[in-house]
Amino acid sequence: MTTYDIALIGFGGVNRTLAQLIHDRGSSFVDELGFGLRVVAITDLRLGSLVKEDGIDLSVALRLGSGSETFADHGGSATPDNEHVIRNCSADIVCEATFTNPDDGEPAVSHVRWALESGKSVCTTNKGPVALRGPELTALAVRNGVHFEFEGAVMSGTPVIRLARKMFEGLKLDGFEGILNGTSNYVLGRMETGMELGKAITEAQELGYAEANPAADIEGFDVQLKVLILANELLGAGITLADVTRRGISELSAKEVKNAALAGRRWKLVGSAKRNPDGTVTAGVEPVALPLDHGLAGVSGATNAVSFATDLLGPVTVSGPGAGRLETAYALLSDIIAIHAAKAGVAAHA
């Protein structure tokens, strides 16, 4: 039986939930998925780092959190030592789930690079490295004979990138339109009832949807990164962040949104890209008043969706959760499943 040794970089909500899944369901993975998972390294900004070649006791690691204990109290170090751990641990696969700095993608870009350079495959749910350094990191993975997977960077566990690649073979993909930010979509839904933007944001914050600084959601920065990922990965656009135009929803008034709803149109923050006749790709983020029969008009609340424009089928739309700890942890698991399938294919060909 194949067992993959895993390193968890960042032990916040996502990787902690993945560890919980491995702890609770790991033995059924063997039967259902054909491989086992063993966590051999964990690093965390607050808890430090723990490395055990023969496997970390996850029940102990999962107990650490809000208290004062760190990994130093359990045979590890009080500091994360990310570069040392990533480069030198015995992991086959590194699950990177720290945070995204939208300017340069650090520190996640370095985490991914160290792992790929040392011959380890990487799964990440971080938009930053994929949006800002995706092609470069994929090339690095190919050179080192390992894999770089990032399904969770766009719509958490809802399959989007892999769906377009695996389910649309033989089709030409001409573009996409998506609702790629649950917070702004929730806020727009509340504004349809007449609630002002500021109050709707406060409500979203109270529900845990919106960050303390809501600009990334409301001004479209989050969607801009996701559009960049989809345009480059699925349309081969070869564009950078500056090529993705961006306008958020902060200029919309509750009255405008409500009146549109009464007139049969729903304002949505739409991220889109389309291939032009000359082969270039135009991409952007902007609020659009969609007619009710548009495939994205019915996407409510925190749900995300992408509608793909295909030549033979016309629009095909997938919708599902776009965030959440469990949903995003599943994205990492789906990446590991994809790496296993690719390795099994290579082994069979050898």
- Could you list the residues known to form a binding site for NADPH, using ranges: 127
Q: Which two three-digit tokens encode residue 130?
A: 């994929």
Q: Which is nearer to its own copies, 108 or 161 (CB)?
A: 161
Bridge partners (DSSP) of residue 304 are 320
Pick the piece of the chain touching its own copies (CB under 8 A) from 136-144, 227-235, 242-250, 297-305. Answer: 297-305
Q: Which residues contact 347 (CB under 8 A, 6 or more apart)?
A: none
Cβ–Cβ under 8 Å, residues 127 and 244 = no
How distant is the alpha carbon of residue 118 from its chain centre? Answer: 23
**Catalytic residue chosen out of the listed positions 52, 172, 199, 226:** 226
Residue 172 annotated as catalytic: no
Assess contact for 125 and 111: CB atoms under 8 A.
no
Q: Which range, of 128-136, 155-163, 174-182, 245-253, touches its own copies by CB under 8 A?
A: 155-163
Q: Which of 50, 112, 299, 339 binds its own copies (CB under 8 A)?
A: 299
204 binds its own copies (CB under 8 A): no
Candidates 85-93, 112-120, 157-165, 241-249; binding stretch for its own copies (CB under 8 A): 157-165
User: How many angstroms separate the CA atoms of 134 and 205, rounded?
Assistant: 31
How many residues bind its own copies (CB under 8 A)? The answer is 44
Is residue 167 a contact residue for its own copies (CB under 8 A)? yes
If the CB atoms of residues 29 and 114 are measured against its own copies, the closer one turns out to be 29
| Cβ count near 279 (within 10 Å) | 8
Q: How many CB atoms sit inside 10 A of residue 347's CB? A: 9
Whole-angstrom distance, CA of residue 9 vs CA of residue 68: 20
Find the binding residues for its own copies in span 321-340 (CB under 8 A).
321, 326-327, 329-330, 333-334, 337
Of 111, 162, 104, residue with least CA distance to 133: 104
Q: Could you identify the residue written with the tokens 């600009």?
A: 215
Binding residues: 127, 211
User: How near is the Cβ of 318 to its own copies at its closest, in Å?
Assistant: 5
Give the 3-state secondary structure of 29-52: HHHHHCEEEEEEEEEECCCEEEEC
CA 81: distance to chain centroid? 24
36 lies in the binding site for its own copies (CB under 8 A): no
The least CB distance from residue 17 to its own copies, in Å, is 10
Nearer to its own copies by Cβ, of 197 and 261: the residue is 261
Residue 283 pairs in a beta bridge with 244, 273
Out of 126, 158, 184, 232, the only residue in the binding site for its own copies (CB under 8 A) is 158
Residue carrying structure tokens 């989007």: 160
The span from the CA of 256 to the CA of 267, in Å, is 9
27 part of the interface to its own copies, by CB under 8 A: no
* Nearer to its own copies (CB atom), residue 154 or residue 297: 297
157 scored as a contact of its own copies (CB under 8 A): yes
User: Closest CB to its own copies among 157 and 271?
Assistant: 157
Q: How far is the CB of 126 from its own copies (least distance, A)?
A: 19
The residue among 142 and 341 lying less far from its own copies, judged by its C-beta, is 341
List the beta bridge partners of residue 35: 2
Which parts of this chain interact with its own copies (CB under 8 A)?
29, 32-33, 156-159, 162-163, 166-171, 292-293, 295, 297-301, 303, 312-321, 326-327, 329-330, 333-334, 337, 345, 348-349
Give the residue numbers marked as catalytic: 226
